[in-house]
Each structure stands twice: as C-alpha cells, then as structure tokens.
Amino acid sequence: MKAMIIGASGLLGKALTREWNGDEVVGLGSKDVDIRDAGKVREVVGKARPDGIVLAAAYTDVDGCESHPDLAFAVNRDGPVNVAEAARQVGAKLLFLSSDYVFDGKNTAPYETQNARNPKSVYGRSKAEAEIRLLELLPECCIARTSWLFGTGGKCFPDTILKLAASRPTLDVVNDQRGCPTYSVDLSRAIIGLSRNQASGIVHVTNAGDCSWFEFAREIVKSAGLATEVRPVSSQQMARPAPRPAYSVLSPKSLNQYGITIPTWQDALQRYLRERTH
C-alpha cells in the first residue's frame, strides 16, 4: 500500500515514519502542507494518490487552545475536513488521530468507543467536532483516540519531569487525574496495524494500564534513578487554563477486536528511557 502521513514532523509523525516499513510512505510536515489550506491539501493528496492517509497533524497545546479557539477549530476541525474531502476525491482511506479529551471525565470505568462525547475544553471540543464531521463525510474512516502521548523527538510529560528532576529536590504533580500514558512507538505500530487491516469506526489506542500523573511522574523519576521526591497535589493547587478530564482511561476492547494488543505503560516507559539516552 501507499501511505501518506500528514503531520510527519510531530512527535507521533516522527515515530510513524521510523516504524512504517514494507510499504511506500510519503511523510508531510507542516512546512509541506498547512491542513487549513483546502486547495493545497487537495493538490498534495491528488498528486500522491495514496491508498491511505494518517492525519497526525494537530494543534495540541491544550491550554493554548483555550486562548486561541479560532486557531484550535481551524486546525483541529476544519483542517481534518479538508483532508477528508481530499481523501474522498482519490478514494484513500483516512485514519484520524483523536483524543481522550472528547470525554468529560465523569466515568469511573474505562471509556468505550460508544460512550457519549462531552468535551470540557476548547481542544476537546475541536477534536469532538472533527470526529462528527469526518464520520459524516467518510463513514468508512478510522478515528483512533489516544491519550497522554509521550516519546522522543518532541515535548512530552516524561521529558519535562526528567528535566525538572535534574535540578529540583522536590516536584509537585497532580494525583486526581487518571489516564493511560501512550508511547509514540507503540501507538505508531498499532496505527500501522489498523491501516493494514482497513479499520473503520472509532478505536481506542493506548498502552495497557492506567495511572495518575503523580504515579506516572514517580515511576519516571524512579526508573531514571533520580533522587527527586515527587509529591501528590490536587488539580486545584495546580490550576491550568484548560479543564482536564479527571478520569479518561480508554478501554482497549475496540483495538483488541483487530487482534492488536499494546504493552503496559511501565514497559513502554523503560523503552522510552533507553531510546532517550541513545
């Protein structure tokens, strides 16, 4: 198959480009195409005529989205619509990356794909509206929801924690938000598998297991052999512009139906730390 990755210069895009072997892969970064430009999107997709497109480009600064809602919706909702229309013209299958932020966080059990969307942030709303529009435009598209993405080659939570822990004796990290850390390498492998399986509909794709940000930070510090003390605090004590879901654990059932399983986040963290030091 001929695959096109839009957003190839981002954290996930870089991992996808590295991991995708055995197929012809065209990677486009933000310098190559601005997904807000419908004409340009049509042009690059029409020229390459891929069998499948993975759309990993997004405005992912969750707090930035709160202060720049127009930009958030232009990139995260209207951009994907432009890509979907271009995909439809050449008969390409579309896989769109979405987020756990489409949920309100009020669940106490892992979210299934059919659970109702109820986003609380601008970022979450932009992603939720994109999902709805894409499923109307391309009912056969695949929407891969993920969460708490980390990996080398970009800004992410473990990278921030390691840098802070190198210079501070203590770190305060929120302990009342639960989710699933997801390693860019494992997410990429799952996306490649879904693409080859011609997956459609909504699929939840995260590493196995869940934790709070505090538990994640504590494991990062411990695994890196650092002596920094990690202390639990509440979200109220660490107020941020965008509301975060208190619980956004995603159920793996939809992914397992394709015969795809992903290792635990703890296993992924060890591999990330090794990759980071090489």
Q: Distance between CA atoms of 248 and 58, rounded to whole angstroms?
A: 20
DSSP readout, 80-101? HHHHHHHHHHHT-EEEEEEEGG
* Residues 92, 203, 113, 71, CA torsion sign: negative
Q: Indicate the SS3 state at residue 26.
A: strand
Catalytic-residue membership of 101: no
DSSP readout, 222-256? HHTT--PEEEEE-GGGG--SS---SB-PBPSHHHH
* Active-site option among 101, 111, 123, 247: 123
Of the candidates 3, 101, 102, the one whose C-alpha atom is nearest the C-alpha of residue 45 is 3
What residues are labeled active site?
Answer: 123
